[in-house]
Every structure is written in structure tokens, then in C-alpha cells.
Structure 1
């Protein structure tokens, strides 16, 4: 176990100005608080925070962060409190320690939800100060190093969480060494058979090509010296998990891998990077398609390097990463490297005071954007789903017409690109140009594509987009826009329902009138109440009674027989009561004022048609308000309406309102008895096609020796169109009977 003076010496070795008193006080306080607590290994618990502090000193972090590492479990696992830590170490350290404290008591229904809640809290804390993440990664790294002491049934779950959440977070923060170690340790427990097999294969390759790394290092170093380039070459073998992931991604076996070795060429400046690249490509042929310039186009986590693959000695593929020494520091330590050259005051310093420095990094900007987008999500699980989408994907880099670089997950489409530029661009997107050519919005984007989004203010994102986009930002924005649009639809429907109900009661409707009754109804805003009426959750009668306390529902005063004569009675309903154009005895303006126009499935109301048979313009129709689903339209003679006889509040007075140039079809269902001989179905299909109808579905209902019955769903323009199809089908010799199903 590291002694107190040893920890102070380690920090002072790179930061002569370290606050030794703070480190000593944190060391003693943590040791006292954890007292006799034991780890699963049997070691004193204090060993764990001390090892975490040691990992942080390896990253050469400032003394405040080291103190947080020592204290990170005190609030969770001891009787220490936030106020006590604030008093002893300051509010800043207290806030960081609290950010690292897990949720102790939550009313949660599943381990997955608990994990999601902890992730939400972690990311919210990180969004305030990135040191929370760095300490958390160090904490998880030490826990993974000692995972073999944990009961076996817990190991796989902890390892899976690590590879799902913490390793990708480390990668997004640019901390490659920690990411690789977390992945390697997790892989050992998640898939031990694959880990052992790949490790054995790597050992065999290591023995076979024992001198290859030294040979390539020596040859590269010699060539660079001859060209007068000061470069340092480092070779290494790829990690087992990296090899496994590549085998999975490319669906290949270990023997088919050709670039198991990777070499880093470190130079002094950017110009030397491109000089080294030219030298390498001069002596060894490059592999087409394996060149990436992350210097001119850095990754979102600030990573910069040139990647190329060449055919080296022995026809062996060799992957090269060319970067400056400063780029290498950022590649190894990520956001933790932001204080390597400057402290908060801008002066050069040995230690890394990280409190404010990482705020300028792209990696940190991505993290804050992710948290801001999903922190207000509907559920912790939804938050976790979107965060994983952001973390897991490999990336492609595309450009706006003005040259702005947009990083997206592999497999992203222009809709994802539009939302990455701005939510407003995504919500109004109607088309795109990729490299100057008009392309579908579902086209997968490739590295280097220039994407120009075409927008229209009249557009709102279809709900179906949520299932085809791949970024969490796009999904969250589409889901939110859909909720807003649906709410607006229900509010509009509710307003029409109330307006008609108030007119039938001879009362004046206005939003000011409705505000009077909001308190009695239990709603905070007029829109809330209107949406509830539109969803069928709030009967219009209750609104009338809340707004006008003296209101007496005249329908309740009617006798049963009188009620049967009203427009709610199915058998007694008249065309006049349903305001169908062409059959109403009232003036058109009167009809417009008291009934709800139906324009079909693409109108401004949440409208659907009866599942058994549908309805078409020309039918006498009635609307049934289905709670949570909007309005369902039935023909007046549909037997299904009998199910709603006892629910008069659900009946709506509706009418068709179809433009003469209508381009929308409507659903209808036919039952056809056909002679059991070849060609019968073909005759029916031909008639429907010749009459500009469209077959949506066919189902064989029953079959006998001479005839068989089928159910055909067709879409037509109106009732006349449907009747014409029925008559022509009926005229065929092979047809015994045709009738419409309602």
C-alpha cells in the first residue's frame, strides 16, 4: 500500500507547487473514514481510493483531482457528509465527490433502470466538471483490475457495463490507454473462450514474427535519419479485444487478419507529419482506401493523427499512425491532457489543473450537448438508449456546403446530418443533395460527402423517421416534434368538439370562457384541457358544467325514447344530423358550423377509418372518439356502431370535405364468391386495375368444391368509384356474388 509521503512525492515530481497539506489531509480523512472496511479481496478498503489516486497521478493530474480520488467513496460508503467535506476541503471538492456518489435509494423497477439512472446522474455531474469522469474512469479501472475477487455471478454484469458505458466514454474523451485496458479486462470476463483463443493466436504470431517489430522500427528509423527527419518510431501489437472486434465487424477469421501490428511515428511539428508520410509511401506501397487524415479533420474528441496502411517487409500489412508529440499526449490522455501545457492562468506548469481547461475541448462540448439533449428525456432508459447510440458507433465525416465538418455514426443518413447541424434544420428537412446530386433522405453517408439539406417551413418530421435515423440527437428531436404535433392535433380536435358542444347547448365558446373552469377540471392550461377532450379523456359535458355551473345537460333530462330520436340514436339518425354534403336540408354554412370536416388520413386531425371495411366519400358517416387514438370514422350502417350505443359522449357529428382535385384514396372491403376455376382471381384484379382501383390486401376466407370466398381490401376515390368496381366485378361469369363489408 502506498504511503502518505509516497503519494505526495509522486504528485510533487510533476507539480512542484502541489498543495501538500490538502493531499495529506485527504489521505488521513479517507483512511479514518473507511476504517476497518474490507474489500472483496480481504484488503483494507482504503487501498481502493489510494489506488485510484495512484492512477490519477499516472495521468499527472492536479492535487485537487488527486484529493477527490482519495475521497470519492466517503459519502457513499461511510458516515461522511457533503457539508463535512465542504467544510474540510472546500465546496468545489465536495461537489465533485457528491457527483461521484452512486444513487443509494431509488424506487426502481429493474437493474437496467437503476443502471440508467446512475448513468444519467454521472453524465449530469460530468457536464459540470470533467474531473468527475476522469476520477470515475480511474475508479472503474481499479475495480476491473481486481474483478477476479468479486463473486463470479457478478463479474459478467460489471464487465458488460464497463464495455457498454465506461470504455466508450473513455474513447469519446480521447483517453485511449484507459479505454484499451478497460476493454481488455472486460473482454476477459464477457467472452473468456474468445479471449483465450485470440490471446493464444497472438502469442503464436509473436513467436513466429519475433523480430518483425524491431526490423520495421529499425528500417523506418534509418530511412528517416537519411532524409534528415527527427522522428521516433514505436511498434506494438494490437490488443485482443481490438482484434476480436475487427473479426466480428468484417466477419473474418484470425488467419485473414493482415494488420496485427501498428506503429506510431512521433515528430516535432505538423509539417514533419506530412514529410514522414511521403517518405513512408516512397519506400513501401500504400494500401488503397486505408488513408485517413485526422490532422486536417480532427475527430470530435480532439484526436489528431495521420493513419495509413502499407505493405511492409515480408509482404506484411503494417498500420502507421503519424503525429506530433503534443498530438500523442492528447491521444493518450484525452481531456486529461488539456492542462499539460497551460494552467488556468495560461502559464506553463508541470501539473494539470483541469477545472476549466477541458471546457474548450470538442470532446467535452460533445458531452455537454448530449447531456443537455437527453437530460429532460421521458425516462432514464430512453436516456441510456440514446447515449449508447452516441457512444458506440464508428464515425464518418461529412461537410456542409460552407465547409463545416459534421461527425456522424457510421450508417448515418442525411436526416441525421440535418439534425446534427441544427434541430430546426432537421425538423424542416424535405430533401437533400449529396455531392451536388439530389439523393433520397435514406442514403447512407460516406466519409467526405458534402451534404446540402433542402428545407421547407411547412414540413414537420414524420414519426416514421424515428425508426430510420441512427443518432440519438435525431431520434430525440423527432420524438419530441411528434409529441408536440400529436398534442396540437388533439388540442385542435378538442376545440372543435367543445365548440360544437357549446353551440348545441346555446352557449358561447371562447378560450376565456374555458379558463374559468380550468381549476375545477384540474388542468393548468387551456391547451391541456383541449388535448384531454380531443383524446377522449375529458367529456364535453364536464367542461360545460365546469364553465357554467347552472348548466343542465338536456340530454340527461330526455326520456329514453326521446334520446332515441336524437342524433345520437343509431337507427333514427338522419342525413341532416350528420351534415353530409348533398343530403343536408340545412344551408351549407350551417353544416360547416356544427360538424367536423373529415379529409382523410393526411388531414389536420388524428383520423383513422373503421378496421372492418373502412369508409369512402359519399358514405353517410359518424365519428367515434377513441380515447388516446383520435377519431375513428364508420359508415352509418356499420354493425360495429352498436358497441357505442351506451357512450353518447363519444359520438361526433362529422362530414366529408374533399377537394375536387383530391389525390387521396380511401379504404373499402369487398367479399367476393368466385367460381373455383383458373383465372378467377386474375379477372377480379384486372377489373380493379382497369378502373384505377388499388388492391391493398387479399385473404382467402373459405373454400368449397365449386366456389371459394375471398376478402379484398381496396382503396378508391369515392362511393361512385367503388360502386363502379363492384358492378363490373359482378358482371364477370366466374363471379357468383360481390358485396361490400362494413
Structure 2
């Protein structure tokens, strides 16, 4: 399978690298010459060199195999080596022994590490060296390495188009996993080798003559048929060794695609093609980019013969795979041809050939860059949507674990449940004995959960609880939200709101809020329409007067029944959608717009009721309005920065701010913000109340 390379050969090769590698890389490696894994490390780097992989991965492979401490590793290699160690932790044979899902485990972690494909190639090369040295291990370890090779690294090598490494990995794995089968096939191949080689030599000479007779320049060679591929075909087709026709195989290589098809025609004229044994992988490449023409014919002596026809470039691609497409410049990182990186990533999101099954329950909308891969305390990787929190992690593990979640540790430190997880975080869930999720987890705006699937599990739990509990909880949730936003609704207004949401009554509305079937944001967004309907029902003028003539819209407000009037938002109550609003005609400032529960507005109407005018929010307006926000925070807190960051995240602009202290040295801050709808302010208030230093936050 491979020529034996002595330590002297490798040391001679290493000396040649002195001019290619950085001095600190070379000098440090020399100091490890007595290390027991030294030869294996050099073998890995030498193999990478033969694959045209550049010096950074070569040197990194040696540091990795030798296990050189991180503090001694050169800075320019450290990140690359860290990736190798992370990958090795999951792909090692000890990991396979501990968990039956290691194939899926490695695939998922590879996704997180695939920004530099060279790291994957280094691991495949190292696996080849492990298999070549498998006789150094005990039988049990040999089988574990072989299982890992067959399940993970051979399929990876195949998808990367690393044909040479794929064949070697497959044959090695079969040798240790099915030793009797391997010996039988090897014996049969060896037993007829002389006859087969003599036959192939005749075929090669005939094909060379055929090319010369037709003025075609090309090369013809015999093709080694690997034991694993023979065994796989025998198993798949349920046939005996003697029935195989592609044990005898040759390869023709020419300069261009047109010549490939010309040669195919000549071969089919020379020998009879076997029906259904022709594959055009030039017009229809394999998923890993492999291209070639495959045909089977009845050759001399009526023996079956497989012939492959390809260009020289196709052959290089087939042998070296992704390594044939490196576009590296030393020091610039992994700038691999983006097309090949894309299809590699696409492969990693699909099943590894026949070795694993896709779990439908784990599928969720998104693309490669939308995922993060975190670890359980036992080292099992979990795939989550980017933006996920410890709660998403808990519910992904098991629904009951999510329901019992009380806190979380990430990388050994306690974090809030709103913490956004990153690649390779190790997550531990702190769980109670009772199932006790929080209704706050159902809100997409509070930051506790990112996944719709997680929130659906929480909603399902609350929906299953007693209706009376949901009714009381929903009532409290709505009242709390309206109070926070300084909105007051009379009983008849609540009834109309329930009707607008297609509920039979207020209690049904409360129950659906409590169970999570209706969100508070959905309720808030219905308030403008509710207000408009109420006015249309009680105001006769609104029925008989056309909107086009009788409504004036300024600053996102519709004024009914009059011509153009100047509109001003009252600074005393700062109305904002979906507040219920009313207008008051001033003497010299046009119409002043107030919240209907504003004390100033009520006082003015008591004195001059005739100045009242019906107004409404413009339904299609994107006009922003000002809103006041009060925050009380602990002394010496960085609350100003916190408010600024959170407001910016919500797309809100702070237009004014005052700050003072009370008798307890607490900070009292009042902000004025530009908003387009109250649900923005609601989300901001909820996020502010999650900050430990903030005592209270509400709209004024």
C-alpha cells in the first residue's frame, strides 16, 4: 500500500525543509528527536508534503502529534494547532469507545472547524499514519482505530476527493475489522496476479497502439483495484470474486475533454461495451468533484475489462482532491478556492455516506453559518442555532431538563440564562427537581430563548396546565405590561380588544396569554385598530364623512373632520403607538395630542370640552415619536452604557437624558427616546430589568 520510509529518510527530508520552514519551527522540532512519536510525526508531515500541502500545516502536524505544550508553540501556528487538538479530542478512538454517536459527533464539530480545510486534511493524513502503524497497538485498539477510520475518515477523504488516502484508509480498516475476509480476497488477488498483470500489459500495449494510430497523445496504465472496493462490490451485488469484471482495469489519460470522448468511441469500436456499465462522470461529476469516463468492455479472450478515461487535470484532482486546489500564500491563512470550501461545507451538513442517519428532529431552518456547536459536560457536541442560550441547550438535550432548568454554567462559570452560546462552549445545566418553566421564556424578546422549537415546548407545558392558572397568570401578565407602559384600559375597552383578537371574552384572552398561545406583543399591535374601531362605533361623523377629505395626517396622526391643522405631540405624556390618544385644540399651537388618560388632558377637557377633537394613529405611517423612560439604578453602576447599548440594539435613538441621585445615592435617570411603536419600548424595558444593577424601569 505504501513504501516503507525509514527514520533516516524522514530526517533527510526534514533537513531539506530547513530553508522552507521558519527557523523557530525547525529548531524546536529538532529538540524532540528522542520523542517516542517522533517518527510518526515526521511521517504525517512528509505525507502532507507529498500532497502539496504547505509548510504551516506540515509543521503544525508535527507539533500536534508530539503534543508540544501550548506555551512552546509558535504564535503563528497556535490557532491551527488548537483546532487540531479540539478535533482530535472528539475523533480519537477513546472517544469512539465511550460514545456510539461519535460519527455524528465528529461531523458536527467538523462544521465548526471547517473554516480552514487544511486542519481536516491534517487529521486525515494523521489517521493514515496511525493505520500504517496499527501493528504497534494491541488488537482491541487496532479495531477501535479501524472503526473510526471506516466511519469517519475514509468518507471524509472521499468527499474531499483524496482518492489515494481514501483507498488506503478503507483497505486498512477492512484488514482489521474483517481480517478473514481481507486475507481471502488478498490471497485470491495474489494467486492470479501474474496472469492478470500479463493480461493488463497486453491491453496497455494495444491501447497505446490505438492512440498512436489515431494521432492521439496520451498515456495508458494499469489501475490497482483495492481490496475494500472489491469487497464492497461483492457485498452490494451479492456476487463471487470470479464474477467481478473490474479486477482487470486500465486508465487512459489525455489532454482535453473532447479527446476523452474520442477515445471512448475508439475503445467501443475495438471491443464490445457491456450494457449498463457506462458512467459519464465528466458530464455528471460526483459530489466530490470527481470526473472521468467509466466503461466496461469484453476484451481479448472474452474477459471483462474496466477502462477509465480522463484528462490529466481530472486525474490530479482525483488523486489529490481538495489539495489540488490550494490557493495559499504563506502567512495569509487558509484562502482556499471558495467553491471547494462551499461544497465541503455542504457535504458536512449531509450524512456521511451510509454511515449515519440524519435526525429529523434536529433539523431547523438556517444555513451553515447559522449554527454553533457546544459541548455537554461529558464532551458530547450539541448543534444549536446561532444565538441560542443555555435554555435552548437544555431543551435540546431533553424537554424535562429544560422545564427543570434553574441556571447554567458555561466553561465552569455561572452565566445568566440569556447568555448567548459560542462555538466549543462547555455547558452545564443547573436543574431543580420540579418541572417549573417560566412564562418569560415564551417571549422572543426577553432573550431567554432563541429557538422557536424551544418556545413551543414551553408553551405546550403551560397549555397543559389548569385553565384557571393560565387565566390568572395571563391577567397578571397583561396588567403588568400595560402598567409598565403606562396604559390604562377600561373594562369595555378590554372587551373590544378581546374581540379584535377573535376571542369570545376577556377571560379567554387572559387564558391564551397565560398559555402562551397569544403573545403580549400581538396584543400591543392590536391596540391601534381597536382604538380606531371604538371611535368609528361611537362617532357619527366618522361614518358620514369621507376620509380623503375629512382626515388630516401629520406626524403619524389622523385628525378627523377638519382641514389642515398644526399638530404637536404633548410633552407631558409623550403618546406613542398604540396608546389611545385624543386631540385638544389649543389657541395658537394647533392640535395638541395626548394620551387619553393624561391628567393634563383630562383637566383641559373639564374646562373646555368643546376643544376636544377625535384623532387616531395613521395606520401606514412610519413616523417616529418621542417616549419618556425612567430608570433607577444602584450607585456606581454603568447603567448609562447599558441603556445606550440596549436602545441601539432595538433601533431606538436617545434624544435626551437627565441624571441625578436620591437620598440613598441611587441613580435616577430619565431618557427621551425616538420610537415607532410601544413594543420596542416594551422589549427595552424587559431587557433593562434583567440587569442586576437596575432597580426599576418604566415609561413615564
How far off its partner does 1:93 sit? 4.0
- Answer yes or no: is 1:368 the counterpart of 2:330: no
What is the aligned partner in structure 2 of residue 67 from structure 1?
A: 59
Q: Map Cα deviations across residues 77-120 of structure 1 (whole Å, 9 max, x no partner).
A: 34x11x65353x35554455445542599x99971257358614
How far off its partner does 1:535 sit? 4.2
2:50 maps to which of 45, 58, 70: 58
Assess if the C-alpha contact under 8 Å between 2:281 and 2:291 holds in 1. Answer: yes
What secondary structure is seen at the aligned counterpart in 2 of 1:174? coil
Distance 2:306 2:114 in 1: 35
How far off its partner does 1:69 sit? 1.7
- Closer/same/farther in 2, CA of residues 517 and 257 from structure 1, 3 Å limit: closer
How far off its partner does 1:25 sit? 3.1
What is the aligned partner in structure 2 of residue 392 from structure 1?
A: 354
How far off its partner does 1:292 sit? 1.4
1:532 maps to which of 434, 440, 461: 461
How far off its partner does 1:188 sit? 0.8
How far off its partner does 1:28 sit? 3.5
- Closer/same/farther in 2, CA of residues 125 and 135 from structure 1, 3 Å limit: farther
Distance 1:121 1:595 in 2: 43
Distance 1:191 1:155 in 2: 12
Assess if the C-alpha contact under 8 Å between 2:294 and 2:307 holds in 1. Answer: yes
Higher mean C-alpha displacement, 291-300 vs 175-184:
291-300
How far off its partner does 1:162 sit? 0.4
- Closer/same/farther in 2, CA of residues 237 and 589 from structure 1, 3 Å limit: closer
Distance 1:518 1:252 in 2: 60
Assess if the C-alpha contact under 8 Å between 2:253 and 2:311 holds in 1. Answer: yes
**TM-score w.r.t. length of structure 2:** 0.51
Q: Map Cα deviations across residues 558-580 of structure 1 (whole Å, 9 max, x no partner).
A: xxxxxxxxxxxxxxxxxxxxxxx
How far off its partner does 1:170 sit? 0.4
- Closer/same/farther in 2, CA of residues 594 and 91 from structure 1, 3 Å limit: closer
What secondary structure is seen at the aligned counterpart in 2 of 1:252? coil
What is the aligned partner in structure 1 of residue 420 from structure 2?
A: none
Distance 2:343 2:332 in 1: 17
How far off its partner does 1:319 sit? 0.9
2:13 maps to which of 7, 10, 18: 7
- In the alignment, structure 1 segments of 5+ residues that lack a partner are 12-17, 39-44, 346-351, 374-386, 395-408, 425-471, 473-479, 488-512, 552-587, 598-603, 605-742
What is the aligned partner in structure 1 of residue 199 from structure 2?
A: 212
What is the aligned partner in structure 1 of residue 233 from structure 2?
A: 246
Correspondences of 1:123-522 after superposition (within 5 Å): 123-124=110-111, 126-339=113-326, 343-344=327-328, 356=334, 358-362=336-340, 364-371=341-348, 373=349, 389-392=351-354
How far off its partner does 1:280 sit? 0.7
Distance 1:109 1:215 in 2: 47
Distance 2:158 2:320 in 1: 10
Q: Map Cα deviations across residues 239-272 of structure 1 (whole Å, 9 max, x no partner).
A: 1111111110001111222221121101111121
- Closer/same/farther in 2, CA of residues 116 and 250 from structure 1, 3 Å limit: closer
- Closer/same/farther in 2, CA of residues 218 and 101 from structure 1, 3 Å limit: same
Assess if the C-alpha contact under 8 Å between 1:338 and 1:354 holds in 2. Answer: no
Assess if the C-alpha contact under 8 Å between 1:533 and 1:540 holds in 2. Answer: no
What secondary structure is seen at the aligned counterpart in 2 of 1:128? coil
Distance 2:77 2:352 in 1: 35
- Closer/same/farther in 2, CA of residues 179 and 527 from structure 1, 3 Å limit: closer
Assess if the C-alpha contact under 8 Å between 1:4 and 1:27 holds in 2. Answer: no
- Closer/same/farther in 2, CA of residues 318 and 85 from structure 1, 3 Å limit: same
How far off its partner does 1:6 sit? 2.5
Distance 2:134 2:95 in 1: 26
- In the alignment, structure 2 segments of 5+ residues that lack a partner are 1-6, 367-382, 384-391, 400-437, 480-502, 518-700
How far off its partner does 1:67 sit? 1.2
2:106 maps to which of 115, 119, 135: 119
**TM-score w.r.t. length of structure 1:** 0.48
How far off its partner does 1:197 sit? 0.7
What is the aligned partner in structure 1 of residue 667 from structure 2?
A: none
Cα-Cα RMSD: 4.8
What secondary structure is seen at the aligned counterpart in 2 of 1:298? coil
Assess if the C-alpha contact under 8 Å between 2:440 and 2:448 holds in 1. Answer: no
What secondary structure is seen at the aligned counterpart in 2 of 1:209? helix
